[in-house]
Chain A
Amino acid sequence: MATSTISSTPLSLSDRLTAGVIALLIGAFLVFGAGLANSAVLHDTAHDTRHSYGFPCH
């Protein structure tokens, strides 16, 4: 674990944190839209996905 930490981190610290925060924000947005957003169209489109991922649904 320790060696892979060093060897496979090609980004500088600030780049890594920037990429990480951007990834978290976009990821949260996508998961929220597909899984939790209170929109009828989104709900119906993602209905089976929401149930099978166990998102709280209707």
Chain B
Amino acid sequence: MIVRTLLAAIVAGLIAGVFMTGAQELRVTPLILHAEQFEGEAPATTEQPTGQPGAAQPAAEGHDQHSSLKAVSPLGAVLDALSPITPAYAHEGEHEEGGIMFGLSRFSGTLMANLVTGSGFGLLLAGVSLVIGYPITLRNGALWGACGWLAVHMLPAIGLPPELPGFPAAELGDRQAWWLATAALSAVGLYLVVLREEIVAKVVGLALIAAPHVYGAPQPLDISSNVPAVLGAEFAVAALATTLAFWIVLGVVSGFVNERFAKAN
């Protein structure tokens, strides 16, 4: 019975992952590829004649280039030159051995990652539902999905908006820690606000949701970037819209599978 419940969650996640892969190809992936064209131009060592007007403030371009991507810029530039990684991944300067698992194409790698991520989120959603005792059904699945999106994407995005390759960012570990803490606090806060009746619980829930933003997300010291701001704005909206669609599909399919598959003994 337990296995059947877990399998139902995984099946829902796999379906949502396939959907996500298709949805990404519409808008998000083209924007990532577009941004990567600018990303390669960033360090001063690879000076290219095509200066991007409007990409960054002209005054900032002169002296900020070294720190515009990463603090490891000199080392990164050397590794980039020696690296077998395709230019699309050249920003991963600190790892010289990389590349896509099993020699998959970029698209297959993304599909596989979406399947794994989808299953993971499907299991997390099912796990929360099981632990707090509110089943996901076909009727409330979309709301479950919307709450998952709020907790994992929308609320953390207030502090750390979805980034394009080449965007300036603070230390990776700090951002991941803040992101994890924010997603967890948002999930608990949403539970208290949405599913608990007591006024005190709702107030505490709102406080939990607000707490990481009051604390503040880790921000980069230098916000200049060669990637045009318009791309970033388009990408942030596209990424959030795509993940919202993913979560609603995940929630609805989870509800459907729960009712049809997990319940049948």
Q: How many chain B residues have a CB neighbour from A under 8 Å?
A: 75
**Is the CB–CB distance between A31 and B121 below 8 Å?**
yes
Q: Mark B58-83, 1 if CB is under 8 A from A, else 0.
A: 00000000000010000000000000
**Is the CB–CB distance between A56 and B28 below 8 Å?**
no
Nearest-neighbor residue (CB-CB) of A17 within chain B: B131
Set B92, B121, B122, B129: member contacting A44, Cβ < 8 A? B92
Chain B, 1-16, CB within 8 A of any chain A CB: 1-2, 5-6, 9
Q: Mark A18-56, 1 if CB is under 8 A from B, else 0.
A: 111111111111111111101011111111111111111
**Is the CB–CB distance between B117 and A8 below 8 Å?**
no
Chain B, 108-162, CB within 8 A of any chain A CB: 109-110, 112-114, 116-117, 119-131, 133-135, 137, 139-140, 153, 156-157, 160-162
Set A16, A19, A53: member contacting B117, Cβ < 8 A? A53
Tell me the smallest distance from the CB of A11 to a CB of chain B, in Å: 6
CA distance A48 to B100 in the complex (A): 12
Set A30, A33, A45, A50: member contacting B104, Cβ < 8 A? A45
CA distance A54 to B130 in the complex (A): 26
Tell me the smallest distance from the CB of A4 to a CB of chain B, in Å: 5
Q: Chain B residues near A34 (CB, 8 Å)? A: 113, 116-117, 120
Set A5, A10, A40, A43: member contacting B133, Cβ < 8 A? A5
Q: Chain A residues near B262 (CB, 8 Å)? A: 10
Q: Chain B residues near A38 (CB, 8 Å)? A: 172
- Residue B196 at the A interface, CB < 8 A? no
**Is the CB–CB distance between B117 and A1 below 8 Å?**
no
Nearest-neighbor residue (CB-CB) of A53 within chain B: B243
